[in-house]
Amino acid sequence: MQVDRIGAWKFAVIFTVLILSLGGLGARHFMLVRKDGQRLTDLARRHQQMTIREAGRPGNIYFASGKSYMPAAVSRQTPSCFADPGEIPLQKVAQVAADVARVLDMSAQEVEKKILDRSQTRFVWLQRHITARQAQELRALGHRGIGIQHEWRREYPGRELGSTVLGFPPAPGNPNTGAGVEKIFSDLLEPRDGKRVTLTDASRRQLTALDHLRELPMDGANILLYLDATIQEALERAVQAALERYEAQWAVGVVVDPHTGAILGMTSYPTFNPQEYWSAPAENRTNRAITFPYEPGSVAKPIFTAAAVDAGTVTYETKIFCENGVYVMPRAGRVSDHGQHYGWLTVHDGLRVSSNILMAKIGQMMGNENLHATAMRFGLGQKTGVDLPGEEAGIIRPLHKWNTYSTPRVPFGQEMAVTALQMTMAFAALANGGELLEPHVVDRILDANGALIWQSQRSVVRRVVSPNVSAQTLAALADAVENGTGTRAKMARWTAFGKTGTAQVPGPGGYEPGAYTGTYVGGAPVSNPRVVCLISVHRPRRSLGYYGGTVAAPYVKDVIERAMVYYDIPPDRRTGSFAGR
């Protein structure tokens, strides 16, 4: 009996110890679950699961090409090399780094530093956008913790073609960088990445896909431009040729459809290759057609002339005495016609030969208030609303800052600064019957499946002159091509209209000696203009030529002539002078 009591006592002790142990374990389990449960669960999941990012494709950008489109900016998948530092034993890091560095043409120290600096993480890029051969060699090494992941790489098949319009994408996480269409539409072009989750074994080898956790990537939207590859190429060649021929500092060009506001071509030279944008100076990456305002000179004359005719101040047959070449005004200084000695001229003829004195007298008839209102009505010194980033407004000073010197000079393009696009759109208004339009680069935006997201619409800002005055102005500008300052823009098969401009470049202490901007803006055909084109050449070498009729008009002619052929416009030119006079 004594033995039984002793055995029962021992059993009770053992049982009590077991119960207490189980209680302690339960309490510890409760504490772990309560305090560290989520951390431990996540840790286990990380060791049992692998999440693989599936990159969506960035949207493409397309040039117009006749009635179809061609790629302007596209994305192609390329391999990139990464490391999983947690899978590389510390004692093997140096050897792995040396092997990888040899394939990637990097220093072993650089690769080793990248791995060690991120040793507490599971992912670090070693080199992005490597070749297929390098990817194959890295796989052949068989190093655990070294992997290949495919990414989308932005490419520009046309290289420099349209580069200052296309721009380049913002840097990841920095929306203030980037340029052009790539920047302003980056939210639409950017894809949404997906992910694929798989179970793994202890060696991180993938076993089974967890399809219920998969998130499919969503590709970016595609942008279709009005910018036409053929017109753009012709414009770029012309602008480059003008700059190189006259050794200018920079030059810009714009081509628009005057009836819709569609920008068919826009360039700035020197330019850059967006594939390697970081290697180009900042000024070459700038779209000067919308960001560099300059004094326009005589290309502004048709705007103020048309406004004066539209207001009934003058008609195109009104005769004005041009003072035989020199006009001295009380409290307004001296205006000359630069060696020309004109007497009486009709307004039509004054525009044809580009008389400063005739324009000065029209300015005095209109007065500062009407001149200022005209500039504003035609959109000068104001942003056009173009769908591109970085547009500058230019300068039209407040009316209260104008004086008696402003009155005769504003009408021939002094005391103001405009962008090339502003002046092109003002001319487009004269060419389309009198409506100032909002310009557009983008035609439409489609989602990844081809469904329409957005479609550009013709947008009238305001009417600036009547259709009748528009037609009369085109007749005078056509005469300027036939018998005036724009003869070097005359085409053999089509009628054309246009205006030259030669502006001095203002500096801190007045106009800079020998510094000019030569401009020509014109269009064709006269009866129903299909295109309007402007080219401005900034600071050409004076000894080689600087007048707009010399440095810009022949190159505008080349672009317009190419456009007439491209759009299959029937020749409308008669032998002899323009019949519309």
Are the C-beta atoms of residues 237 and 204 closer than 8 Å to each other? no
Instruction: Answer yes or no: is pLDDT of 285 > 80.
Output: yes
Confidence at 36, pLDDT banded by 50, 70, 90: low
pLDDT of 98 strictly over 70: yes
The tokens describing 121, both together, are: 């993480």
Express each pLDDT in 479-494 by its tens digit: 999 999 999 999 999 9
The enclosing H or E element of 557 equals helix 553-566
- Give this prediction's pTM: 0.85
Q: φ and ψ at 187, to 5 degrees?
A: -65, -35
For the chain, state the CA radius of gyration.
35
How much is the average pLDDT of 357-371?
98
How far apart, in whole angstroms, are the C-alpha atoms of residue 103 and residue 145? 16
Tell me the backbone φ, ψ of residue 252, rounded to 5 degrees.
Answer: -135, 160
**Residue of 148 and 224 predicted with greater confidence:** 224
Confidence of residue 577 (pLDDT cuts 50, 70, 90): very low
Strand pairing of 222-228 and 61-65?
A: parallel
Q: At residue 494, what is the residue type?
A: W
- The C-alpha atoms of residue 291 and residue 285 are separated, in whole angstroms, by 11
According to the model, what pLDDT value does residue 40 have?
47
Phi–psi pair at 468, nearest 5 degrees:
-65, -45
Structural element, H or E, at residue 83: strand 68-83
Average confidence score pLDDT of the chain: 90
pLDDT confidence of 17, banded at 50, 70, 90?
Answer: low
Distance between CA 83 and CA 66 in Å, rounded? 47
**Angstrom distance (rounded) from CA 27 to CA 23:** 6
pLDDT at 202: 59
Helices 301-310 & 356-377 angle (0-180, nearest 10): 80
Region of poorest pLDDT, from 14-28, 368-382, 397-411, 508-522: 14-28
CB 107 within 8 A of CB 97: no
Q: Please tell me the predicted confidence (pLDDT) of residue 34.
A: 60
Please report the pLDDT score of residue 47 as a whole number: 55
The two structure tokens encoding residue 149: 């992941």
In angstroms, rounded to a whole number, what is the distance separating the alpha carbons of residues 363 and 350?
Answer: 13
Write out the H or E segment, with its range, that includes residue 206.
strand 206-209
pLDDT of residue 8: 64
* Cis peptide leading into residue 270 (ω within 30°): yes
The angle that helices 229-246 and 553-566 make with each other, rounded to 10 degrees, is 160
**Range scoring the smallest mean pLDDT among 96-100, 260-264, 296-300:** 96-100
* pLDDT, mean of residues 551-562: 98
CB 422 within 8 A of CB 384: yes
Cα-Cα end-to-end distance for the chain: 141
Structure tokens at 94: 């140096």
Q: What is the pLDDT of residues 257-283, one digit of tens each?
A: 999 999 999 999 999 999 999 999 999
Q: What is the DSSP letter of 545?
A: -
φ and ψ at 35, to 5 degrees?
-90, -45
Q: How confident is the model at residue 426 (pLDDT cuts 50, 70, 90)?
A: very high
The confidence score (pLDDT) of residue 207 equals: 59
Contact 134, 103 (CB under 8 A): yes
In this structure, of 173-187, 259-273, 534-548, the range with the lowest mean pLDDT score is 173-187
